[in-house]
């Protein structure tokens, strides 16, 4: 297995569109790196650059210690699994699995042996003589995975391989993929637009926006310390609430205590050295409490309640018109068109620069 690294890669398509901008990113040997971002952020472009299906405009790509920037796909020795996997309909599962080896003129006995091992590890043994049309979507996806594994490539690239599966199958196949990653110890780069999929699957997650890398970190770190407002809003569900306002040093004490004011919300937060006073306060819905009065509370109108069984998702609007989302415990039941009090968990707030969106050194206990 081998690491895959992009070094200062730019990709400008023929029409002048910049799909990757000064991108430096590494999947370490044996790592499962997840690349996440909204549609059009350049995720497929990055994978295609790694695979050699697209040429970089500038920069370097390495697999292991080799500079592969100018090598064609077949010399890079990595396997790619797409969302729209194409199995050969006229071939059996066994033939589909072995196809990559037979076109490389490998001996039949060796192909048989590898196909059997991979089929076993993917639970495909009983299906080896079926044709793709006789398989469920999940089984077909596992055959597509198996076909990549049989080749024993240096690394695997996955481009939204599960997005055509229904929710339950997606979870099952994801678990399977995780298990497979641990078992093979393979280097994998996995692309998804789904932040929850990214959080559950990745050792580390790279967040991409408009071809620019925003942050690379562990799932916990991304969630707890998003580097900027974009990452903060993209990772986590429901999405983080943002309230624009100002930050002012409090006179008393003056040792890092600041007052945030905006949209009728006034709370004190602790910050390191702060330059800007125009900020955006970020609060996750899980860190907004719906309470009956108390300190630092804010009256709000409930506009909608979504009962989820284990919790209620409560949509409120503040006196200034600002809308917030809170996640509340299932009891007591909250009713729409009532007034409630909202309390912000001060130790869990995030503060971002209002202009450029970068995280400021505030909040957190
Ligand atoms: N061959 C191409 N020529 C011009 N623009 C392209 C080409 N391929 C992709 N793009 C553009 O590059 C951007 C990134 O595309 P892509 O990498 O497919 O994003 P993602 O996989 O994150 O949805 C999109 O705006 C897309 O329209
Ligand atoms: Mg894509």
Query: Which of 12, 17, 48 is the pocket-test mutation for ligand 1 (most atoms within 8 Å of CB)?
Result: 17
Cβ-in-10-Å burial (0-12, 13-18, 19+) of 350 comes to: buried
Give per-residue pLDDT as tens, 305-338. Answer: 999 999 999 999 988 788 999 999 998 999 999 9
Task: Please give the pLDDT value at position 295.
Answer: 55
Task: Please give the pLDDT value at position 365.
Answer: 43
Residue 311 CA to ligand 1 center (angstroms) comes to 38
Answer yes or no: are the C-beta atoms of 15 and 6 closer than 8 Å: no
Residue 6 CA to ligand 2 center (angstroms) comes to 18
User: How far, CA to CA in Å, does 109 sit from each of 93, 115, 116, 121, 192?
Assistant: 17, 10, 11, 19, 37
Residue 42 CB–ligand 1 contact under 6 Å: yes
Task: Please give the pLDDT value at position 298.
Answer: 80
Residue 15 CB–ligand 1 contact under 6 Å: yes
Q: Whose CA is nearest to atom 10 of ligand 1?
A: 19
Task: Please give the pLDDT value at position 81.
Answer: 86
| Cα dihedral 232→233→235→237 (10° resolution) | 130
Give the closest ligand to the alpha carbon of residue 46.
Answer: 1
Half-sphere exposure of 302 (CA within 13 A, CB side): 21
DSSP line for 73-126: GGGT-EEEE-SS----TTS-HHHHHHHHHHTTT--HHHHHHHHHHHHHHTT-GG
Q: Residue for token digits 């023929």?
A: 14
pTM of the model: 0.91
pLDDT band at 257 (very low <50, low <70, confident <90, very high): confident
Q: Higher pLDDT residue, 291 or 7?
A: 7
Residue 88 CB–ligand 1 contact under 6 Å: no
Q: What are the structural domains of the chain?
A: 4-228 (3.40.50.300), 238-353 (2.40.50.140)
Residue 13 CB–ligand 1 contact under 6 Å: yes
Looking at the predicted structure, is the pLDDT value of residue 53 above 90? yes
Kindly state the average pLDDT of the residues 297-302.
85
Give per-residue pLDDT as tens, 269-294. Answer: 888 877 778 999 999 999 999 986 55
Give the closest ligand to the alpha carbon of residue 208.
Answer: 1
Q: Mean pLDDT of all residues in the chain?
A: 91
Give the closest ligand to the alpha carbon of residue 41.
Answer: 1
Query: Which of 45, 192, 210 is the pocket-test mutation for ligand 1 (most atoms within 8 Å of CB)?
Result: 45
Residue 343 CB–ligand 1 contact under 6 Å: no
Looking at the predicted structure, is the pLDDT value of residue 21 above 60? yes
Poorest-pLDDT segment among 25-29, 78-82, 169-173: 169-173
Q: Higher pLDDT residue, 277 or 48?
A: 48
């Amino acid at each position: 297995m081998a690491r895959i690294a992009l070094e200062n890669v730019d990709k400008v398509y023929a029409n002048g569109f910049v799909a990757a901008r000064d991108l430096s990113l590494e999947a370490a040997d044996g790592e499962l790196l997840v690349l996440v971002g909204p549609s059009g952020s350049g995720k497929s472009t990055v994978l295609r650059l790694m695979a050699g299906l697209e040429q970089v405009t500038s920069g370097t790509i390495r697999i292991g210690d080799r500079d592969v920037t100018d090598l064609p796909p077949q010399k890079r020795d990595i396997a790619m699994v797409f969302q729209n996997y194409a199995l050969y309909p006229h071939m059996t599962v066994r033939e589909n699995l072995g196809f990559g080896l037979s076109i490389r003129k490998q001996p039949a006995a060796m192909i048989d042996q590898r196909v059997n091992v991979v089929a076993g590890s993917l639970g495909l043994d009983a299906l080896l003589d079926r044709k793709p049309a006789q398989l469920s979507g999940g089984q077909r996806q596992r055959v597509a995975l198996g076909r990549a594994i049989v080749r024993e490539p240096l690394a695997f690239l996955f481009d939204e391989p599960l997005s055509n599966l229904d929710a339950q199958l997606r979870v099952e196949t994801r678990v399977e993929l995780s298990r497979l990653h641990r078992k093979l110890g393979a280097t994998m780069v996995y692309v998804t637009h789904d932040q929850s999929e990214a959080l559950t699957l990745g050792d580390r997650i790279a967040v991409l926006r408009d071809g620019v890398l925003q942050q690379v970190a562990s799932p916990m770190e991304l969630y707890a310390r998003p580097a900027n407002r974009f990452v903060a809003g993209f990772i986590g569900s429901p999405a983080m609430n943002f309230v624009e306002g100002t930050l002012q040093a409090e006179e008393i004490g003056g040792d890092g205590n600041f007052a945030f004011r905006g949209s009728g919300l006034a709370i004190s937060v602790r910050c390191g050295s702060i330059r800007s006073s125009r900020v955006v306060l970020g609060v996750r819905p899980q860190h907004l409490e719906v309470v009956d009065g108390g300190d630092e509370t804010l009256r709000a109108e409930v506009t909608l309640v979504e009962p989820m069984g284990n919790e209620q998702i409560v949509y409120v609007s503040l006196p200034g018109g600002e809308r917030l989302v809170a996640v509340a415990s299932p009891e007591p039941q909250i009713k729409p068109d009532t007034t409630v009090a909202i309390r912000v968990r001060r130790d869990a707030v995030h503060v971002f620069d209002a202009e450029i969106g970068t995280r400021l050194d505030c909040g957190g206990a």
